Structure 1
Amino acid sequence: MRVRRFVGDNVSETMGKVKRELGSDAVILQTREFNDGGFFGLFGKKKVEITAAIEEAPVIAQKTPTSNFGHEAEAVKPPLPRQVLDTKEQSQDLQAEIKSMRLLLEQMNKQMKERTDLKEEKSDWPSALQRWVDHLRGRGISESLVKRLVSHVQHTLSSEEWADDAKVYARLETNVCQLCGQIGLIQPGIEKPRIVALIGPTGVGKTTTIGKLAAGFSIVDKRRVALITADTYRVAAVEQLKTFGEIIGVPVEVVMTPSGLSEALQLHSDKELIFIDTAGRSPHHELHMSELRSFLDEAQPDFTMLVMSASTQSADQYRIYKRFEDLTTHLIFTKLDETGSAGSILNLIGQTTLPTAYLTNGQNVPDDIEAATPQRLARYIIGEEMPHA
């Protein structure tokens, strides 16, 4: 890993240096502001320092030479470079990844056992309803919810109607809508801006989602909107949001500290909506969660929306939700177009009283986002196609 320190007069200038020297894949290790010059740190010029790193290309191992005696000669190992970076935090990240992998393997073993048990278990469902049981299981819906949904069909329709796919689908849809009745959409502020923060783990599409929301409210609804990004860990994410802001005519502020966030909010107090993009946080990393809390404590958002991918396994969705639960007011589910088992989101919705706000189903801005009405949720959960006979 190559580590560099960059100094500039402001965030934009310093980030530009990082991008030019290390590229868009650079990882931000530390950011700080300091006064350069002056007397004992007073009256100096404010500077920004960013410590960034980039992974070096791996060294390709040479084939071990063979001696005249037919044995492999001892490989000469190059001397290890001196470590110049404190690896304590990287060690914490590695431990978190190992823990996450262990949990994933345990979940995979559990799922394999459940599938085996289901195959061995003799079905008590009539053949006309068994098709729907298999269909809902395939959508990722938990066994307890499958039983609840199909039992409702069994007891509210006649046995002759069980073969009528349209009637069964309609009954399932009505039942799922009742389970997904909690929704909550963003409303612009009137006397002061409505502040909306998006939180969640890495890789779920927070930056893309916040772009869709900003474009919808500014271009379609003609609202006064501002964007703030606190995701200074990823140079590419900052550049993506700044470029997008220029395209749609929305100001974008980059902040590195909670106090910087407070200043940015004051600067745009005339807006109707302010969206805050936070860095993706590992739910297993206490330092990352602590940093996120400090930003949210400063912002005091009206909505704190937990963004989760519908393609994430159901058990992992629940673990992520529980880790962010005390910070969250609303849910957003993304990447519904990337999974055939979107029914898993019903498992989570059934275990929380938090409302669902929005759903995303593609990369197009601002088109591929929609309000999470019970009807739309039900269609994603059950699927648009009828089960095969």
Structure 2
Amino acid sequence: MRVRRFVGDNVSETMGKVKRELGYEAVILQTREFREGGFLGLFGTLKVEITAAIEEKPVNEQIKPTSNYVYDTPEVIQPARPVSDSKDQPGALQMEMKSMHLMLEKMNKQMEGLGEIKSVWPPLLQRWADHLQNRGISGTLVKRLITDVQHTLLEDEWGNDSQVCSRIEANIIEICGLTGPIQSKQDKPIIIALIGPTGVGKTTTIGKLAASFSVVDKRKIALITADTYRVAAVEQIKTFGEIIGVPVEVVMTPSELHKALSLHMDKELIFIDTAGRSPHHDLHMSELRAFLNKAKPDFSMLVMSATTQPADQLRIYQRFEALSTHLIFTKLDETESAGAILNLLGQTTLPTAYLTNGQNVPNDIVAATPNRLARYVLGEEMPSA
């Protein structure tokens, strides 16, 4: 990792230096303000310092096999018999540990599936059970859905795909019943913050929402980004603002966020993009809580990717639940197991606000409804006979 320190007269100038030197993938490690010159720290010129880093990409050709390792394929590393008088090789040891970690991960995923005993259904219903499980729905919910079909339809109706699908869909709609997109107010701006882990598409989703409300609905809006950990995120939201003609504020602290909000009290909606936070990192969660305490958003929307493993979805939800008022599911077009979101919806009381299914701004976003959620869960194709 290459780490550099940049100094400028203001945030924009300093961020520009970071972008030019390290590129859009740079990660902001620290920001601070200090005074340069003056007397005993007084009357100096206010400066902004940003410490940033860029991950150096490994070059495969630089990795050479050591005397203690035999490479059968580029991806498989087999430890040979250790040589008693050889010295420790940190690089080789690190690669061995990584290989063991990947193997354990694979074993854990295989073990996860052993906890659920697959039910055996009559053949006409078994294909529906298989279809639901292939969509990512848990065994518990599959049993609930198929049992309902078995109890509410006559046996000679089990072969009627339309009837069976309608019955299953009705049950899924009941599970997905809580939805709630952004509702407007007349007396003051609506403040909407998007929160969640890294890589789920928060910034793109903010762009879609902003474009929809500004361009389509002709509403007065402002954008604020507190995601100064990634230069690319700041540039992306600035680009969105320029395209749709709305102001963009960049803030680095909760106090700056409070000031930025006060500048736009004449707007109808204010969208806040927050940095992706690891749900396992207590400091990151504390920082996010400090920003939200200053913003006091009307909507604090937890953005979840439909491509995330169900067990991880649940852990993320449990960590962010106390800070969230609504859910947004993204990347529904990137998985054939979108039904996994039903596992989470069956355990939450938070309403789902929006669904995204592509990268096009502002088209690939829709307000969530129980019927739309059910269609994503079930998929477009019927199970084969």
TM over 0.5: yes
**What is residue 245 of structure 1 aligned with on the other side?**
241
**What is residue 12 of structure 1 aligned with on the other side?**
12
Look up the equivalent residue of 1:288 and give its one-letter code. H
- How many residues in Structure 1 have an aligned counterpart in Structure 2? 356
How far the C-alpha of 1:104 sits from its partner, in A, is 5.3
Q: What secondary structure is seen at the aligned counterpart in 2 of 1:343?
A: helix
**What is residue 95 of structure 2 aligned with on the other side?**
none
**What is residue 28 of structure 1 aligned with on the other side?**
28
Match of 1:301 among 297, 302, 312: 297
Query: Residues 90-122 of structure 1: CA distance to partner in whole angstroms, max 9, x if unpaired?
Result: xxxxxxx99x9899557503334257x53xx6x
How far the C-alpha of 1:251 sits from its partner, in A, is 0.8
How far the C-alpha of 1:382 sits from its partner, in A, is 1.0
Query: Residues 233-279 of structure 1: CA distance to partner in whole angstroms, max 9, x if unpaired?
Result: 11011101101110010111110111110111011111111110011
Query: Residues 171-205 of structure 1: CA distance to partner in whole angstroms, max 9, x if unpaired?
Result: 11111111111111112332211111101111100
**What is residue 37 of structure 2 aligned with on the other side?**
37
**What is residue 368 of structure 1 aligned with on the other side?**
364
Match of 2:150 among 144, 148, 154: 154
TM-score, with length taken from structure 2: 0.87
**What is residue 47 of structure 2 aligned with on the other side?**
47
**What is residue 131 of structure 2 aligned with on the other side?**
135
Structure 1 segment 264-275 matched on structure 2, within 5 A = 264-275=260-271
Query: Residues 98-149 of structure 1: CA distance to partner in whole angstroms, max 9, x if unpaired?
Result: 9x9899557503334257x53xx6x1x2111111111111111111111111
Look up the equivalent residue of 1:195 and give its one-letter code. I
Whole-angstrom CA distance in 2 between matches of 1:195 and 1:244: 18
Residue 336 (structure 1) aligned with residue 332 (structure 2) = yes
Whole-angstrom CA distance in 1 between matches of 2:66 and 2:356: 52
**What is residue 109 of structure 1 aligned with on the other side?**
110
Residue 180 (structure 1) aligned with residue 181 (structure 2) = no
Look up the equivalent residue of 1:278 and give its one-letter code. T
Q: What secondary structure is seen at the aligned counterpart in 2 of 1:196?
A: strand
TM-score, with length taken from structure 1: 0.86
How far the C-alpha of 1:58 sits from its partner, in A, is 4.0
Q: What secondary structure is seen at the aligned counterpart in 2 of 1:348?
A: helix
Structure 1 segment 312-351 matched on structure 2, within 5 A = 312-351=308-347
Distance change in 2, residues 1:106/1:200 (3 Å): farther
Look up the equivalent residue of 1:28 and give its one-letter code. I
Sequence identity (%)? 72
Q: What secondary structure is seen at the aligned counterpart in 2 of 1:365?
A: coil
8 Å contact 1:31–1:50 — kept in the other structure?
A: yes
Match of 1:195 among 169, 191, 201: 191
Q: What secondary structure is seen at the aligned counterpart in 1 of 2:4?
A: strand
How far the C-alpha of 1:158 sits from its partner, in A, is 1.1
How far the C-alpha of 1:152 sits from its partner, in A, is 1.1
| Range moving further from structure 2, 307-316 or 183-192 | 183-192
**What is residue 3 of structure 2 aligned with on the other side?**
3
Whole-angstrom CA distance in 1 between matches of 2:384 and 2:58: 49
8 Å contact 1:107–1:315 — kept in the other structure?
A: no
Q: Which runs of 5+ in 2 are unaligned?
A: 68-85, 87-97
Look up the equivalent residue of 1:108 and give its one-letter code. K
Look up the equivalent residue of 1:181 and give its one-letter code. G
8 Å contact 1:189–1:273 — kept in the other structure?
A: no
Distance change in 2, residues 1:107/1:301 (3 Å): farther
Q: Which runs of 5+ in 1 are unaligned?
A: 66-74, 76-96
**What is residue 82 of structure 1 aligned with on the other side?**
none
Residue 213 (structure 1) aligned with residue 209 (structure 2) = yes
Look up the equivalent residue of 2:32 and give its one-letter code. R
Whole-angstrom CA distance in 1 between matches of 2:138 and 2:332: 18
**What is residue 94 of structure 2 aligned with on the other side?**
none
Q: What secondary structure is seen at the aligned counterpart in 2 of 1:132?
A: helix
**What is residue 254 of structure 2 aligned with on the other side?**
258
**What is residue 170 of structure 1 aligned with on the other side?**
166
User: Which aligned segments of 4 or more residues in structure 1 are displaced greater than 4 angstroms?
Assistant: 61-65, 100-107
Look up the equivalent residue of 1:149 and give its one-letter code. L
Query: Residues 325-359 of structure 1: CA distance to partner in whole angstroms, max 9, x if unpaired?
Result: 11111100000001111111111011011101000
How far the C-alpha of 1:63 sits from its partner, in A, is 7.8
Whole-angstrom CA distance in 2 between matches of 1:379 and 1:29: 42
